[in-house]
Structure 1
């Protein structure tokens, strides 16, 4: 502030002096060339007049500088007051800031509307997910447990009329039904498992996920996981897709071997999950047999990639997801 005051004073003072010199020269421009020494003598001889002029020039410069300083202080104070009004969501006095205030109000309304819509969408998604899990529990686990209960009830009530071979057959049937219900429950729990990588690399997250599954299921899981370079968004979505594919594999494939591959080339990041299970007809419209590919394909498309499935009845299933590598894919 002090530097600005001094600069303003010197600038105004200099302008006044220059203007005086120009006027003095113009007023004496009618003199012949030989009168130049005389003119300079008049100028230097009138020291008292020169002192008066310099004093007046300095006073005018000081008055202008003081006025300019007070005006700047007033403008700065008004600006600070308007900033406080904006922070308190009040309308400022400056017309320029009023435009900004209106834009802020408009943006706040849009954000609130988006937040409201997002909350409504989230509530709808949660409700749909609850209904889906409830329906799947009823259609699979509940019915299988009911079937096992009915079989055991019939065996318990007819032990004297059944042969040893019949009891063993019924027992094996109950074990098969319970094993199926157990796999279904594990698949549903995998769907509900948190999907965050918790700061891990994608390869580390997939390794932990497959190790956890291997400890709970009888199928053999083999993994080939490369340490890829991708954005956190791509890694999170690939982890979710792997989770969903494995969940559906447990529920439907009846596979003895599952292979999980994660690799990359110059153009793509590739996630490939294969099994030797019962497979299904990819041209059919059975939503259960489709392994939930609609969600997986939608996720892949949102990342600019694609997901394809290769399967046939009694020929296993392979799901391959390809996500293109971009410049932003390497930045976390």
Structure 2
């Protein structure tokens, strides 16, 4: 009778235990896997140090490779001519994880390996304890991660895969560093160009303002020359014709007065009127002489604004009238010869006051407002604003003989600038002539002395 036996593991599973043959290999494989996991953990630690800059990340990559290979030295370097803007160009780490940045402090064999990497020499992946994997970027090698390992056997393909991951991460970091440096350089250049452009724009604005001032002064000087020429011509005309006629009229009155005296009592009334005519002719001659003298006086080149022109006009009437000029608001430059038109209108008003109002005092008030320029001529004479308004309406519609054209001349000059005039009772007791010109100014509709000879900027030659 055969003795029965209990089934063993081989009987139950049909597989003999491989413990004696494969356990050691299994343990070593497990250690490799754990080693690879630790290397991946090192890679993750390296990745989160990206914010510290490329050097910190590269040193962490080199430490991870050194730890994975138990390396005596680990080198991570770029080849010459690759990623030229990237920094640092190389990183070396000792077995204790200490980074060495001074190339002269490295051992000779480490410097030789670093020189070979920089020169771009193609060397075996495994050679005399050195492990080399390329750093690739877009399929091209830009450098090498190399380490002098102290493992009992050469690294396996899985170890090389871990090193390639580390090397490629380093390549990406260096490429990002290069792009960042290039971007910073472009940013600095752009900021420099912007600052230069801003400074040039400011300088150009200053020079433009200066050129405009020079242009205005030149235009004023040209206008002044033309006006002075016209003034001298008028003065010659007054001296050679009008004054001679008035003197002749005075002489004729004197002859007639002698004949009236011969009539005796019958010619007394005629003689009285002739005496009045003689006095008027003498006053006319005196006024003509003063006007000729004033016309011969050359204006200064600094007279370029409306207040300065009005000062000139007031000065010409000062012998007969106490004229005061008051200016309110900021003085504005006027286009073309508009300031001359306004000054002539004020001069006409002052002449009317001197000739007809029996006034002694006049206040000219020039006001610059937001939407208009207002000029008021107020006197202490005997004028009536209602009568003057009615007289202006008659002069606008009726043909007069030229002796009563003062008001309509003022109205015409102001109307051609888009403005209007009105007559009010002045606080001084006389009449206040108010001229209102809207802003912006409208150009004159008729060619004046300046407008016809100089022309406006918008005019085109035929």
TM-score of the superposed pair, with normalisation by structure 1: 0.45
Pick 1 or 2: higher relative contact order, CA cutoff 8 A, min separation 6: 1
TM-score of the superposed pair, with normalisation by structure 2: 0.35
Q: Which has the higher helix share?
A: 1
